[in-house]
Structure 1
Amino acid sequence: MEPQVNPLLDPLSDVLRSVRLRGSAFFHVSCRDQWCAYAPPSSELAPAVMPGAEHVLEYHLFAKGEGWIGVDGEPPLRMREGDIVMLPHGDAHTVSSAPGLPPAEEGDWLFSRRGDPKPIPITYRGGMFEPSRQLPVGDASAIIVCGFIACDLKPFNPLIDALPRLLHLPSEGVGAWVAPMLEHAVSESSDRRPGTAALLQRVSEMIFVDGARRYLDALSSDAPGWLGALRDRHVGRAITLMHGDPAEPWTLEELGRRVGLSRSALHERFVALAGLAPMQYLANWRMQCGARLLREGRLSVASIAQEVGYDSEAAFSRAFKRATGLPPATWRRAQMQSVVTT
């Protein structure tokens, strides 16, 4: 009998590792009276908060008090003390004491202060914005810790598209280990002790992983999208097999045999849930594995081609250029240069 493979967490962990998930908390926001803050799309914020990142998503933790999150096209979301909300697609949004309030004028202060020690204190009160100011905890009606999480989108990141525009994590559903860690992070943010930035980076990453897992757990087995595909007994198994050995010369027939479906049934079910054909998924995942190996810098392009299932360096290079726009060696040099400059 073939060994059983967990169809839920292994591919999710693979993707989280391969897309270079990295977090940072930047703002400790104190609010009083009526207040409203506007956050532009993360594509506009990224050069200031996480230079060089392909994709940045924002999150907010309501450490004290309540408020609202507003995104165009979505109903206002009420936030209570202890709640976390993430915006996986980087949408512009408002955070406020009540829906419909006009945001305070902020200007381009963030770009002028991006070199300041983190986290940066901010105060909103009476409709006014006061950078580099922090109210005493007792004077604030709401305290929000705002952070950013960066990840790669290319060559292949199926997770981001599978998440909703607003990922709400109510306080009562947060794991027992998350709440005390967040409370400690908030304390560190207020006290500005040495090592605070590093601690908040790790907490940010763990919040995102916990949120993705909780969203996955809540999905029905027939939910469309990559995460829904992981929950499907047959498609999830097929994805796990491809992740477990991307260099294997998989065919649709062999995958179908291993998961207990006919060739046509697996293809139809895979496309319906994951949104692409199994062999296209395999090709995309091979490119992502190749990108990780290129970034690590230990193997030649020819060796990487073999590691991810290509018979020749030329075939791998053509596929990689189609996926990223650059040949592997050029892409590797660009990645190394971005690490040096950021």
Structure 2
Amino acid sequence: MSEPILLRAGDCFILPRGLPFQLTTDLSLKPVHYTIALSRLNSHSALPAMSEGTRYMAGGFFGFTGSHAEMLLQSLPPIVHIRRESDRDAMRWSLERLREELRDPQPGGSLIAQQLAYMMLIQALRLHLASATQAGGGWLSALTDKHMSLAISSVHNNPGHPWTLEALAARVGMSRSVFALRFRQTVGATPMEYLTRWRMLLAADRLKNSTDGLSTIARSLGYESESAFGKAFRRVMGRSPRQYTRSNQVQLIP
């Protein structure tokens, strides 16, 4: 079953989980499958011009690749709904500019439209994080905390560094105990658990999309031996690196 989403003028939604949904301005209306609605739209040789006050809807999708993309998607709720008028105003310029680019194509218009779409996505995520109703922890929420954000960016930028709890605490200018407590409360995992998971997500992506050997991947992510790397990988991913590689090779066979 898909969840109905009631549309109001100026509303903005992000649906990060790919779940089925319905869009409507009236919950009493009978749903129409999008393929039928699209065929009706395409059957008109010329669409009427938009007049002042006309309502329209813009939609699109972003494709995320790599195992670590899951960290972003799982940090978001099933629906991100930008409701407040002040927040919608912050996105209106990008949306209006995007409409102009699509309505009156110019050289380089596709590139401008793409960048405007990126701006709208980032702005929507910013507004979601800044919302007073934002609850819970996780990687994305932690980015609003300057100390936790610095720790996370340090791990992301240099995952092969021999990070320790003491080193990360010193990096953000906090005591070891206070840093460990705040990180766990904010992110939902200890700093070392987060570091290991990030390394294994990067490793999984390389095992799937590169020809690097296990020893090369292990050393680049801060492990001195394949054995230590393999144990960490199995603990996080639920199978050995070789099992993970074989399973992805099988999936690629037509």
| Interval of TM-score (by shorter of Structure 1 and Structure 2) | 0.7 to 0.9
> What's the counterpart of residue 101 of structure 1?
28
Between the aligned partners of 1:281 and 1:255, the Cα distance in structure 2 is 12
The answer for the alignment partner of 2:203 in structure 1 is 290
Write the deviation string for residues 46-91 of structure 1: whole angstroms up to 9, x where unpaired. Answer: xxxxxxxxxxxxxxxxxxxxxxx62xxxxx4x4325x432112334
Residue-pair matches, total: 244
SS at match of 2:169: helix
Counterpart AA for 2:12: I
Is residue 86 of structure 1 aligned with residue 14 of structure 2?
yes
Q: Structure 1 or 2: larger strand share? A: 1
Q: Which amino acid aligns with 2:38?
A: I
| Conserved 8 A contact 2:22-2:31 | no
TM-score, scaled relative to structure 1: 0.57
Is 249-258 or 329-338 further displaced after alignment?
Answer: 329-338
- Given the alignment of the two structures, is residue 138 of structure 1 paired with residue 48 of structure 2, yes or no? yes
**What are the Cα deviations for residues 259-295 of structure 1, in whole angstroms up to 9, with x where unaligned?**
2222221111111111111110000111122233334
Higher relative contact order (CA 8 A, sep 6+): 1
Q: How does 1:100-179 map to 2 (within 5 A)?
A: 100-106=27-33, 122=38, 130=40, 132-134=42-44, 136-138=46-48, 142-151=55-64, 154=67, 157-169=70-82, 171-174=88-91, 176-177=93-94, 179=96
In the TM superposition, residue 307 of structure 1 has moved relative to its aligned partner by 0.7
Residue 153 of structure 1, CA deviation? 8.0
Q: 1:297 to 1:182 in 2, by over 3 A?
A: farther
Structure 2: gaps spanning 5 or more residues: none
Matched to 1:263, the amino acid is: R
Structure 1's 301 and 199: CA in aligned 2 closer, same or farther, altered over 3 A?
farther
Percent identity, please: 27
Kindly indicate whether the alpha-carbon contact (under 8 Å) linking 1:252 and 1:263 is maintained by their aligned counterparts in 2. yes
Structure with greater helix percent: 2
Is 1:249 the counterpart of 2:249? The answer is no
Distance 2:41 2:238 in 1: 41
Supply the AA of the counterpart residue of 1:103: K
Relative to the length of structure 2, the TM-score reads 0.73
Deviations 1:74-121 (A, max 9, x none): xx4x4325x4321123344321122x2243353xx85xxxxxxxxx97
- Deviation per CA, 1:235-280, whole angstroms, max 9, x where unpaired? 2222122122111121112222222222221111111111111110
- The whole-number CA distance in structure 1 between the counterparts of 2:122 and 2:115 is 11
**1:326: how far off?**
4.4
Give the structure 1 partner of residue 98 of structure 2.
Answer: 181
Taking only aligned residues, the RMSD between alpha carbons, in angstroms, comes to 4.0
